Structure 1
Amino acid sequence: MTIALELGLLYAVMALGVYLTYRVLDFPDLTVDGSFTTGAATCAIMIVSGIPVWVAMIAGTVAGMIAGAVTGLLHVWGKINPLLAGIITQIALYSINLRIMGNKANVPLLRQETLFSGLRADGLLGTWVSVAFFALAVAVVCALVYWFLGTQYGVALRATGDNELMARSQGINTGLTKIVGLMISNGLVAFCGTLVAQYSGFADISMGIGLIVAGLASVIVGQAIFGMTAVWQAVVAAALGSIIYRGVIQAAISVGFNPNDMKLISAVLVVLALVLPQWGPLKRIRIRRRQANAIAEGAK
């Protein structure tokens, strides 16, 4: 139970990155599968080389931001379709990540000093203490994302995703906004990669494969359950969706599903999250909830 909560909270950072592109920017970014590994690989190889953990984590995050910038430039300057731009960067990152890891598919961190070494040494990993610690860290990240979306640049980002033509007519440089949005999104994803690598004790070339499905599942499931009528609600829902998603995966393994089927289960979960909200009874519940919220806002 606590392991699933820990993983859900760790991957919540990645879900927030996916939320920024998928929901806010309306940009289907597939760079995620590569930038996650880029962050993990950069952080791991620097830690093994004796570089301080915090420096390695910053470097991993910056590497992910560069990957996001490449996707943005391919789309904005190269006029390449968003999906194709993300796929191109993702494919290129596979070779780049191998180079970062010294042409090795795996970099172990078991004997290295990491961010979680203290918790692991005290036997606190996998306990409610570590869950509380992770929850606090995720709450801080959620607060930062919410704050950013309320700034002038964050509003420009949201306007670009809502209606690019209208945003451009208001003087917003939508091309630059997309690039910056992709950089922030993939920076969060790469930062999550640095955390997962240290938590797992290794960085692996395949650790990011299919991660975009997990990110989409987290965002879609969270917002289908908790709603997204307000920005703060959508941000929190994306993070909570990650916890629910990991809980479902853990439950599937517990009841005897083959771990090799987890990608299939993830895909089915995404389909259900997309289809169920359109089901009549659930749709009526959502409409009534929105009407109740509107009445409550009017009463204020």
Structure 2
Amino acid sequence: MADAVAVIFQQRRCRRRKVPIRRVFNARISSIVVRDLDFVSRYRLDRVLFQNLLETVGQTLEKTYRGGHTIPPDTQVLVGLRCLAKGAFFSEVADTHGVSRSSVCRIIHGFVDAVIYNVDNIKFPVQRDDQMSVKRGFYRKCKFPNIVGAVDGTLVPILAPTANEESFVCRKGFHAINCQAVASSDLRFIDIVAKWPGSSHDAGVFDNSVLKDYLEADLEAVLLGDSGYPLRRYLITPILHPSNENEERYNRRHKTAREVVERAFGVLKSRFR
């Protein structure tokens, strides 16, 4: 009996003793180990675009985490792209890439910030040469002159905010941001406004944008918009009730040209879930 009591006492004393836990680092995945066949399906970019992105944001992502165990920039880019492409759980992304779940949380925020501050490829064509290139693309598509872009809004779902929660509920019943974008004829975004709550009307977002002020001053730049936008000198919309063949033909060509922004939204949302 005395021996049994001594064993129990010893076990309790060991449990109370603080034994340092040794950190275990998993094997990190690298871009070179992913097959070309799987790269696009996993990360929504081919290897060439990935290398270009890595060169652009790599220096910003060079960071040493606690314990001095550095997560390489290429692994951080892979983790960030995987989260944006698949919308996967952090635990799944962590297991796939050999990092911890808390590291995934830090990486995704750092990756997005690095992209915002280093990738500057959304620019409205203000130079005449740039405008002419965009205008020629739309003219070949719909025979409309002076068109520099097609404008539309899309709803991006978000978690319910703590402040002004009701204003972010969109017409479809979920919390969202009404993101306005202008696309060129080759599906490139050339202007983005992503700060208005989901209950905002597309026309209201446009009226409060800097783009509207620019178009009012430029006499040779015109946008295409759907019937939700007001008809103006610099913003042409479809005819609601066409009464003859000419008006119907105008609406068909207008739709053909304006659908580029809807297709651009579709490509964006299908690539980055």
Alignment TM-score > 0.5, same fold: no
Choose between structure 1 and 2 for higher RCO, CA contacts under 8 A separated by at least 6 residues.
1
Query: Computing the radius of gyration over CA atoms, which structure comes out larger, 1 or 2?
Result: 2
- Which has the larger strand fraction? 2
TM-score by length of 2: 0.21
Task: Report which of the two has the higher share of helix.
Answer: 1
TM-score, reference length from structure 1: 0.20
